[in-house]
Structure 1
């Protein structure tokens, strides 16, 4: 007969060791270590904890223990068990926190790689980058400005990337070793802070994009320039040796909220920053910090020195990692620690403010109701935008907000293929398709429709609603020449300018950015599929049906390139055509 969980806890020994909590599916929920197993495990069931720990306790159906001779052995065993099983309640870092690196490979014709783990053989590794998309953007800049090999090499002819000046030319020629040395030298200068040349090149490209009305590209480059830490040169600790690599762990703790900030110093410069917001009670503080750092240094390379806030007890960390952890002692070290602690406090304040703003959503909706004199609070708002370039792959987007928050399951995209080439006709097309379906399916209609556009687009929307016999209020959000939210057109088609720091203005701006991002993302997917089709149409033996099947099974060019001949032949049913296809794709690898 199986004993109860309470009886299992009562029978635990008062010895050091590890404990493993299981759920009803026999999955390990949590691994912990204790100096006294009986006391530590009992505490889970006779104390009031935060939401996460309370939820953990509710899921526990059984437990196991492993007795050790010393607490040090228990610590090392716990570390290994967590690495092996990755229990969900031991995970403190967000799922998308992988801290990637940019690698330059060690080979005759080196290339850039974006990797989450540093390989054993490489020439240079730059990172870690706390924000994965930021790392990808940086690598794109390097590929454009300091090209290495980007194709598989030795193709016998120039690849596509060579034609757009993003490949060294290893595809068709022997590239001098000195070329790679020069490029890598510039990349190393870039990451060591000697990046004026790179900044100048990016600035020129940004101005060119703006002059060509490519505002999104210009804004992307502007953000990248800002992110690359030229703006924080006053915070860089210039007195570090140029080859110093170290991390600084700052802490801010208040009201059971813990913020941990890591400052990554690479090549003597403050390179990157990341912060994590956690909830833990005072008696869990040391364990929470230790487990967080254990998880962090499973994901990134351990630097020679790690300076830690004096609230952190280093004994157990030193047992796991050796003498890497230090308290700041010199004036220089204390400056770095103050910077990390101040960043933690700032992150805490921002999160608390954001939580307060979320609680103010009803207030924003009430203000919108009063401003427009609506009969009811606009609980359900829909916003419409159109994306296209040169009238190709025209895509309509509708986003839905419920009670002031995005309802992403209700977002819809529309492929628009009509002879009229103006936004008014396109908006009318989206309106008809969207609201005819809602009427036919008895779906919920919005309390307010917002059009990303001016008077012409708003009138097109109202005309279509009238044809559908729908009385839904419609307003417009108008952008300025810099493509940013400027003012709204109210129900009387009058311009209303709100202060830029007004909560309602910020809410409407967020919606406008959201619908634009949704529209442009789906437009780019269509554009990419169109590019694939144009490439596949050049292959003799591939007709419309086979192209359609290929795209259904391999959504991107990379997927088709990565497919084996056998996989391709399952669809194409002709080995000669498969060979022609693969030869065609060689030029764009």
Structure 2
């Protein structure tokens, strides 16, 4: 059976976990409202800011929202339970989102992209770098001199393309141990190095055809296939003609170049930025193997000229990471390209048209979306905090409520009576200024007197130390606490600080706000930010007070048990309380630890025997 102290610790941990989950959910809900109706990728992150899942969507708003709406299977439920926050990257099309998704998974290897990890990653076609080259499918892009094309959306697409090229522009299909013409050579799908030596010129010509085809120039191969299909039909070889027809259809429906795969900007970085309201948002797309390998993003306050800030950022980006230098960099026209070229020794330019311009605009679009999202989140936060306290001040007809102190009491039948005070400034908790009060002058349950003592101690001290006084005092209760607070403030201390009561219903939930002077219930719209703010304050001050009460009660029970053990006086008891903090820790402590504290071994043995005997009887 758990000791009271263990129970309190467990309850406190549960409360903390629930509060954290509620905060995470609220932050996610805010971001869900800001998602664009555009294609792109989304990155799910855990509490450690690690990417745990990458996905793509035709419509980011619909897809990302679906994770947090409705029921899911066990796998998705587990993923969602670990999502702390998420990011999105907008693309020009769904196909671009697919290719970007591939590279993000390759870069970050998220734990929930199980089927897309190494070994099952989207494939590339590779022309090997050897005397008799092959056209193979691979999941790895290496610096081995080979020529890579892709990635392809799946193995099926890569295999179909490979088979088509084997038939039209064959390279070596067999291994080099063949002593005579292989089976594929007789089918016309092997260049024949197994039968006779092939010159490098022949290979170069064949590879040239393949490269043009994979780079999007499909007209030549389509024409050849149409001629072959017509000849097969003339010979009444309809099966062969149908095969050529299917190959042509595959080329027309599947082999399509995209902006994101353009070889025009292979091994190139693109910078886009947006400046607004003193904040600079910069996005960097790192293009490798003809696709977006990685995205970097930064939002920070800018104090100098925008162009200078961006130029400095780019220079530092490569100076601090020299290993990631590309062959070329694309930047907006107002960035100092000449200076960057001189400093970085890399070609820096601004495209005016075409695919490169499209990529630059896409980068700038993402930077604007990121900054807009930040501003809208700030606006939401301000409405929830500053806007809420402004509403509250208006409801109570006071000048302002920017600095608020709230109080709550906690006791059990008057025993271990304590109070907690929380502080809110501009609608946000200021935890470093929270205070705890142990009731010293009153015995038993006496709410009015408890309130008087705490208010007297708090504001008498502020007056003596000439500290700032709050704009508003909130009491977690009704008329009794309000009158007690006013009595001390007005009659003893001569202060005119507004007071209000946070009234609860029979379910201990926020029900109303009571004006501290008219003692009338103020009409607060339950849907308003002010009402939600009062709820947050009431829940926080209650949590703080009751947590302190549990600590005091546990410590008292701890001390009472020790006082009953022969040989344990006040000095020894205080040593044990200070060192071990709980009975549970004493029960499991070795005798050597008692000895270090100066507790005699016989006394330590009696302590352990008494405590463990009590455990056995509970």
Query: TM class by shorter-chain length?
Result: 0.3 to 0.5
Task: Find the structure with the greater CA-based Rg.
Answer: 2
**What TM-score does the superposition give when structure 1 sets the normalisation length?**
0.46
